[in-house]
Amino acid sequence: MHQSRRMPFRRNWFLPAKAGWRCAGIICVVAVITLAGCSDTSRNYQSRPFFLPEKDVTTHGRKTWFDNLLETDPGHVRYLVSAAYQTHPPRRIAVLPFCNRVSGNYMLDGVALTRRDKLERDEWAWTNANRIRREVTGSLAEREFAVVPLPAVDAVLSYRGVNSCRKLKAVSPEELGRWLDADTVVYGEVLDYDAFYYFLAAGWRIGAKIRVVSTRDGHDFFSARDTRYAVDLCPAFDPIDILLNSATTTASLRDVVLARAEWEVVREIMLRLPIAKDNVSRLRETAVYEQRAMDSDRADASSILAPPAQLNVSRSGFYQDDSYPPVAILPTTLEVPALRH
């Protein structure tokens, strides 16, 4: 009797004690993680240096085979790069209007769901093509190129009477370069621009092709084509699940998903465009030369201002980059590098 009474007492005492130690352990772990995070964020970020090597410049955001498999995207970029790209790279680029091979109607599974008149179809075809054109222009503008603004390109072509794909292709790249003051032009075509819906799968198919052409001799610097699928796949086997998933996949036909597909097809193409190392060197040299000239003019204009010390020495880390070799800054007799050949 005595032992049978003591066993429940020991069991009741042991379980709360075990739970208490477990809670204490969890609290300690959370406290350590919190303190470690606080100690890391308490560092002085203002002293962190700039101009350090940027990691994964050419691979960040580029799809791998696993991404294509996971997102049910069979897209594959096909591209060619000229052997003269690095020796005589593009410098000032004009992105021409894109030609749209797809109807201006809203296409679902190859069937037009709208009945627009000719003017409306032309307007929508221009709108869809210009969306991808703007993505290409933005990608080039953040690179080591000077890009002619799109309104300027459109105004010049309109003034010259070039208002269709047929007329645009009739003008030589050399003539376009003279009109637009550009050493390179970009031709583009929209190959696919439609939606699809197959009950358990829905999404968008966007395809594009571009050519980066020299206006000096008309050769292609770079050419590529790609088709991307923004797919929402919801497998189901139960009849009720099939019905529900068939309804939820229609959410993939939203406009925001279309915009992401447009951006993705351009991103996958532009990530294949190599870094023009010679452009990077010229841009840096020109910028530093202009700063030296500005400082020299200021020193000559006022006898109070002394010329800057160590004019030819750049700050530590200014030319650090893992993508391109460091460029030596020459003395002040450096000539301004030409932006065009």
Residues 109 and 174 in one domain: yes
Coil vs helix vs strand at 276: coil
**pLDDT given at position 99:** 95
Provide the token pair at 329: 């800054």
* Total-model pTM: 0.73
- Residue 16 and residue 110 in one domain: no
Task: Calculate ∠ Cα 193-273-137, nearest 5°.
Answer: 55
Q: Are residues 173 and 244 in the same domain?
A: yes
Does residue 107 fall inside a structural domain?
A: yes
- Its domain, for residue 4, covers 1-48
Number of C-alpha atoms within 13 angstroms, CB side, residue 6? 3
Q: Compute the distance between CA of residue 329 and CA of residue 319 in angstroms, rounded to an integer.
A: 10
Shared domain check, 155 and 91: yes
Query: Domain tally for the chain?
Result: 3
**Residue 156 resides in a domain:** yes
In one letter, which amino acid is 339?
A: L
Question: Measuring CA to CA, how many Å separate 328 from each of 36, 101, 155, 281?
Answer: 42, 48, 41, 9
pLDDT value for 329: 36
pLDDT mean values, one per 10 residues, the chain (341 residues) = 50 55 71 59 74 83 84 87 92 96 89 90 94 96 94 96 94 96 96 90 92 94 93 85 86 90 93 92 90 81 47 36 38 41 41
- Which letter, b or e, does each residue of 94-117 get, where b requires 16 or more Cβ atoms within 10 Å of its Cβ? bbbbbbbebbbbbbeeeeeeeebe
What pLDDT, on a 0 to 100 scale, did the predictor assign at position 36?
Answer: 56
Q: What is the dihedral of CA 286, 288, 294, 296, to 10 degrees?
A: -120
Same domain assignment for residues 236 and 136? yes
Look at residue 12 in the predicted model and tell me its pLDDT.
Answer: 54
Q: Are residues 192 and 112 in the same domain?
A: yes
DSSP designation for 59: T
pLDDT given at position 316: 36
